[in-house]
Amino acid sequence: MSQQTLSEVKEYYGKVLKGTKDLQTNACCSTESIPDSHKKALAQIDTEILDKYYGCGSPIPPALEGATVLDLGCGTGRDVYLASKLVGENGHVIGLDMTDEQLDVARKHQDSQAKAFGFSKSNVTFTKGYIEDLKAAGIEDNSVDLVISNCVINLSPDKDKVYQEIFRVLKPGGEMYISDVFSDRRIPESLRQDPVLYGECLSGALYVEDFRRTLVACGIADFRVTSQRPITIENPEIEDKIGHIDFSSINVRAFKLGLEDVCEDYGQIARYKGTIQDNPSYFDLDDHHRFESKKPVLVCGNTADMLSKSRYAKHFEVTGDKSTHYGFFDCSDTEHETSSDCGEGSSCC
Ligand SMILES: C[S@@+](CC[C@H](N)C(=O)[O-])C[C@H]1O[C@@H](n2cnc3c(N)ncnc32)[C@H](O)[C@@H]1O
C-alpha cells in the first residue's frame, strides 16, 4: 500500500479542502435526485456535516430497517447519519475513515443527531482506520449486512485489498452498494502522480473492465449497475490534463452470493410484494430490472438468488428452483425486462 498516496489524500481531505465549495471539479459532487424519506432525514442533519459532503452519488439502498451498515470513507458522516435514521434504533451504522479532521466533525454531532432522530441513544460508531485493512479496524468476518461507500475507493492505492475486505466482512447474502468514479481506460502513471487530480477523485479511478475483473477475483461474477452519469469536470485546466479519458460516477450493487458469470434460465419467477418502505409501486434491482408491485416476472437464476437470498427476500415471492435448466437467459426479451441493454453472453450487469 502506498503510504505516500494515503498521506496526500489525508492532507487533501484534512487540510486543503474546507468544504464542498472548495472542490475544483464536479467529480465528487452528487447531482442525483433522492427519495423523499432521504430528504426528510437530510433535513435533520447538521449543516456542518452537509457542508463538508464530498460524495458522487447516493449509495443508500432501501429496506434498511434493523440492518448493520458499514460506510467506507465516511468523511464527516453525511451518509452514516442518513443510514442511521433509515436503519432505526435497532440497526447500527459504522463509519470508517482515516482522516482525523473528517472524523472530528462526524463525532462531534453524534449525540445531537441521535436526539434529532428521536433515538434514546446513538446507533452510530465512528472508527479511524483504512478501508484496505478492516480487520485492523476490528470489523469481523461475515458481520455486516450492507457496505456502502461514496466516492472513496477511487482514492485507494490498493483497490484489490479494499474489495477483498468488503466481501470478507459482508454476511452471506449481504450487499455492497457503492457510488464511485470509474474511467473508460487505465489512467497513465503521470496523471496518477498528480495530487490534485488524485484528490479530486479522477486519476485514481478504476477502469470499468478492471473493476469487473477485481470483483470476479473476489468471487463476485455478477454485479448490477443501478445508475450512472458522465462526469463533466468543467475546469479547463484539468480537462487539458486528462485529455480523452471519460469518467463516470457509477452506482453499483453486488451481493455476497455464489452467482454464475452469465444469466441462465431455470424458469424462476419473482413477484415483488410492494412492501419496501417508499417503494409501494415498484422496486428497481438495477438500471434494467424494474419489478412492478404484484406482477410475476420471469428472472434469471442470478436475479432469483439476489432477491431470495438477501435482505430483500421478505419482500419477494420467488418460485421455482434450479433443478431444470432451460438454457441461456435472454435479457433482451422485453417480456421480462424493462430494457434490452444486456449483452449476449454476459451477466445482467
Ligand atoms: C471524497 S471524500 C468522501 C467522503 C464521504 N464519503 C462523503 O460522501 O462526503 C473521501 C473520504 O475518504 C477518506 N479516505 C480516502 N482514502 C481512504 C482510505 N484508504 N482509508 C480510509 N479512508 C479513506 C478520506 O479521508 C475522505 O474523508
Architecture of domain 3-255: 3-Layer(aba) Sandwich (3.40)
What distance in Å separates the CA atoms of residue 319 and residue 125, rounded to the nearest whole number?
Answer: 39
> Residue 280 above 70 pLDDT?
yes
**183 CB within 6 A, ligand 1:** no
What distance in Å separates the CA atoms of residue 112 and residue 130, rounded to the nearest whole number?
Answer: 27
Q: Mean per-residue pLDDT for 145-160?
A: 97
**155 CB within 6 A, ligand 1:** yes
pLDDT digits (tens, 9 = 90+) for 229-276: 999 888 898 999 999 999 999 999 999 999 999 999 999 999 999 999
Beta strands in 24-81 (DSSP E): 68-72
Q: In DSSP terms, which residues pair with 94 in a beta bridge? A: 70, 125
Ligand 1, atom 12, residue with closest C-alpha: 73
Task: Count how many Cα atoms sit within 13 Å of the Cα of residue 341 in the half-sphere of its side chain.
Answer: 10
pLDDT for 330 equals 82
Task: List the grid coordinates of 320.
Answer: 421455482
pLDDT class of 18 with cuts at 50, 70, 90: confident
Q: Give the residue carrying C-alpha cell 447500527.
A: 92
What distance in Å separates the CA atoms of residue 235 and residue 264, rounded to the nearest whole number?
Answer: 45
Q: What is the DSSP letter of 120?
A: S
3-255 with 261-349: one CATH topology? Answer: no
Q: Mean per-residue pLDDT for 131-159?
A: 98
What distance in Å separates the CA atoms of residue 123 and residue 145, rounded to the nearest whole number?
Answer: 15
**222 CB within 6 A, ligand 1:** no
> Residue 29 above 70 pLDDT?
no
> Residue 26 above 90 pLDDT?
no
Q: Where are the domains of the chain?
A: 3-255, 261-349
- The 10 Å CB-count burial string (b at 16+, else e) for 48-81 is ebbebbbbbbbbbbbbbeebbbbbbbbbbbbbbb
Q: Mean per-residue pLDDT for 284-305?
A: 97
The rounded radius of gyration (Å) of the Cα atoms in the chain is 20
Q: In DSSP terms, which residues pair with 282 in a beta bridge? A: 292
Q: Ligand 1 atom closest to Cα of 56?
A: 8
What distance in Å separates the CA atoms of residue 145 and residue 286, rounded to the nearest whole number?
Answer: 19
Cα(126) to centroid of ligand 1, in Å? 13
pLDDT digits (tens, 9 = 90+) for 320-333: 999 999 999 987 65
- Give the residue, out of 51, 69, 100, 155, with the most ligand 1 atoms within 8 A of its beta carbon, to mutate for a pocket test: 155
pLDDT digits (tens, 9 = 90+) for 30-39: 656 788 899 9
Task: List the grid coordinates of 185.
Answer: 481506460
Ligand 1, atom 3, residue with closest C-alpha: 54
- pTM passes above 0.85: yes
Ligand 1, atom 27, residue with closest C-alpha: 75
Amino acid at 218: C
Quick one: fold of 261-349?
A: Ribosomal Protein L9; domain 1 (3.40.5)
pLDDT digits (tens, 9 = 90+) for 81-111: 999 999 999 999 999 999 999 999 999 999 9
- Give the residue, out of 4, 50, 80, 97, with the most ligand 1 atoms within 8 A of its beta carbon, to mutate for a pocket test: 97
Cα(90) to centroid of ligand 1, in Å? 26
Q: Ligand 1 atom closest to Cα of 79?
A: 8
pLDDT for 28 equals 65
Q: Ligand 1 atom closest to Cα of 10?
A: 25
Q: Ligand 1 atom closest to Cα of 75?
A: 27
Cα(24) to centroid of ligand 1, in Å? 17
Cα(135) to centroid of ligand 1, in Å? 18
What distance in Å separates the CA atoms of residue 264 and residue 299, rounded to the nearest whole number?
Answer: 9
What distance in Å separates the CA atoms of residue 14 and residue 32, rounded to the nearest whole number?
Answer: 26
